[in-house]
Amino acid sequence: PVSETETRTIFDKIIAKEIPSTVVYEDDAVLAFRDISPQAPVHVLVIPKSRDGLTELGKAGKRHEEILGRLLHAAKMVAEKEGILEGFRVVINSGPSACQSVYHLHLHVLGGRQMKWPPG
């Protein structure tokens, strides 16, 4: 099997502070930072600090239940900090057909403008 170190993504470098990011929220398990290419006035990515095989939501297993809950709660904390609790969107792109581009699970927290539904 391919080791996690062999499959490091840009997010591992952000976690290790090897490349800079603007951190919005952080705890022992979760890091949230501003997307480099924001699609809304607020666009924050919420990621697990340890990927633990969670390259995409479609690979989640029973052992990931706790971190998945923590990521969702962190998304709410981000929305609160950013002042968008009145209305915000949380998106997870999982796999190529969903246009996932970084294979380290992440939640997009979007807000600060009127959102459209359904998305494209």
Q: Where on the chain is the footprint of ligand 5GP (CB under 6 A)?
A: 10, 19, 21, 33-37, 45, 93, 99-102
Provide the minimum distance between the beta carbon of 47 and ligand 5GP in the complex, in angstroms, as a whole number.
Answer: 9
Provide the minimum distance between the beta carbon of 60 and ligand 5GP in the complex, in angstroms, as a whole number.
Answer: 15
Q: Toward ligand 5GP, which CB reaches closer, 14 or 79?
A: 14
Catalytic center residues:
106
Angle at 111 between CA 114 and CA 81, to 5 degrees: 145
- Please tell me the distance from the alpha carbon of residue 75 to that of residue 43, in angstroms, as a whole number: 11
**Which residue type sits at 23?**
V
Element (H, E) at 74: helix 65-82
Q: Toward ligand 5GP, which CB reaches closer, 21 or 42?
A: 21
